[in-house]
Amino acid sequence: MSDTTRPNSWDARAKQNSFFGFTDLPSIEARGTTVLTHGEGPYVFDTQGRRYLDANSGLWNMIAGFDDPGLIKAAQDQYARFPGYHAFFGRISDQAVMLSETLVEVSPFESGKVFYTNSGSEANDTMVKMLWFMHASEGRPNARKIITRVNAYHGVTAVSASMTGKPYNSVFGLPMPGFLHLTCPHYWREGQSGESEADFLARLVAELEELIANEGADTIAGFFAEPVQGAGGVIPPVEGYFDAILPVLRTHNIPIIADEVITGFGRTGSVWGCESYGFVPDAIISSKALTAGYFPMGAVILGPDLSDRLQRATDIIEEFPHGFTASGHPVGCAIALASIDLVLNGGLLENVQRLIPRFETGLARLAQHDHIGEWRGRGLMGALEAVRDKSSKTPFESELSVSERIANTCGDHGLLCRPLGQSIVLCPPFIMTDAQMDEMFDKLSAALDQVFADVA
């Protein structure tokens, strides 16, 4: 298209040739798109010069904000030194070797191995293929089923979308057979009337035991869980959840994989979400904060047992026939090394820990609105769930699109936050100041007043 035939607004140009995923397309016809040009700290700016406080850190990933000089320099220096390479045929960049050492060192594992991907979805796919490969090499080719939970989000590739426990995947004919979803461990929504939290937990444990008995433990390849379900609406599990299900999985030798794509590197106030919940998984899936969002990258971090078993599997089958062109990209690895250093030694994790009480107080304050049924969260990830009626937890009629309206109203006031189901989700960058956090809650509070006045 020549310049003279190109539509003249950024919004029109965005709609003309860009196809949007996870976007309500009629609503962008009505409201328009937001075309962004740059960022400063936790703020982003659009083509009209409007400034927005990004309360979701991009997509949970831009933990260091949008202009961190150290991360930009790490990228520039590495581009100048060695701008790209793979990790096939026994060749690997020095940066990838150093990052693997660092990841194992900061992991909860005494020893381990790391495999690189370009995204969290690919890391989950890779882990599933590793489990299939390993079980087959150990004489269990039927150990292929994967257990996850309703409301889990593990990605969008065909395998990771099958692991994801969201109904929208039915438009693709997913999940594929053999992907089994347990009850979401959300007591407030899933607990039955009169059921105590302890009874709810006991029901979830019994459900897992029953599933394993019905399916046959020898047909199951692994269990995947986010320590806090993220894109399912920020759902911390019922009290005692991991302590209760781990022994069941261990009894049946079912590997447990922690999908720490959101929770990894400080989001819950510890380096890892599994650390916050006091368990050590068999492997960790990482992405997002791994590079502070400055490079697309994911990683599978294997603990000692799976590392050894996969090593033995490759002794038998010789080659793990899997990998991506950009696996272990040296620029991504250099950025990840700088980002991990920033989190652990540059004050980011400390700032998260410092901010958590202010964040929780802010959520609790907004939960006093008449139509907020629950606030929930862990660390710097939180959600407020809108309801028509607080005491009966009756949701708003879905055609009112209440959470979308709240998020749109926030956008009008210069705050970006995310509607998820009937909830508004907050996942601020780790660099936030107290004043920026107050700005976030004040703007959201005003939007809640405005929208609830319209729909009540």
* Residues binding ligand PMP (CB under 6 A): 119-121, 124, 153-155, 226, 230-231, 259, 261-262, 287
**């998020």: which residue's tokens?**
407
Q: Which CB, 42 or 155, lies closer to ligand PMP?
A: 155
Query: Considering the complex, what minimum distance in angstroms separates the CB of residue 369 from ligand PMP?
Result: 27
Q: Which CB, 343 or 366, lies closer to ligand PMP?
A: 343
Residue 83 CA to residue 76 CA, distance in Å, equals 9
| Parallel, antiparallel or unpaired: strands 220-225 and 256-259 | parallel
- Least Cα distance to 324 among 158, 121, 175, 163 occurs for 121
- Least Cα distance to 222 among 323, 305, 294, 287 occurs for 305
Residue 418 CA to residue 425 CA, distance in Å, equals 5
Residue 266 CA to residue 346 CA, distance in Å, equals 12
Q: Is the N-terminal amide bond of 281 cis, ω within 30° of 0?
A: no
CA distances from 270 to 274, 304, 351 (A): 9, 21, 12
Q: Which CB, 227 or 362, lies closer to ligand PMP?
A: 227
Query: Considering the complex, what minimum distance in angstroms separates the CB of residue 21 from ligand PMP?
Result: 10
Query: Considering the complex, what minimum distance in angstroms separates the CB of residue 262 from ligand PMP?
Result: 5
Q: Which CB, 264 or 362, lies closer to ligand PMP?
A: 264
Q: Which CB, 259 or 282, lies closer to ligand PMP?
A: 259
Query: Considering the complex, what minimum distance in angstroms separates the CB of residue 287 from ligand PMP?
Result: 5
Nearest residue to ligand PMP by CB is: 120
Q: Which CB, 232 or 346, lies closer to ligand PMP?
A: 232
Q: Which CB, 122 or 439, lies closer to ligand PMP?
A: 122
Residue 125 CA to residue 68 CA, distance in Å, equals 31
Q: Which long-range contacts (CB under 8 A, 24 or more apart) does 72-77 make?
A: 72/294, 73/338, 74/334, 74/335, 74/337, 74/338, 75/294, 75/295, 75/331, 75/334, 75/335, 77/334
Query: Considering the complex, what minimum distance in angstroms separates the CB of residue 454 from ligand PMP?
Result: 30
Residue 172 CA to residue 179 CA, distance in Å, equals 15
Query: Considering the complex, what minimum distance in angstroms separates the CB of residue 120 from ligand PMP?
Result: 2
Query: Considering the complex, what minimum distance in angstroms separates the CB of residue 343 from ligand PMP?
Result: 18
- Beta carbons of 140 and 131 less than 8 angstroms apart: no
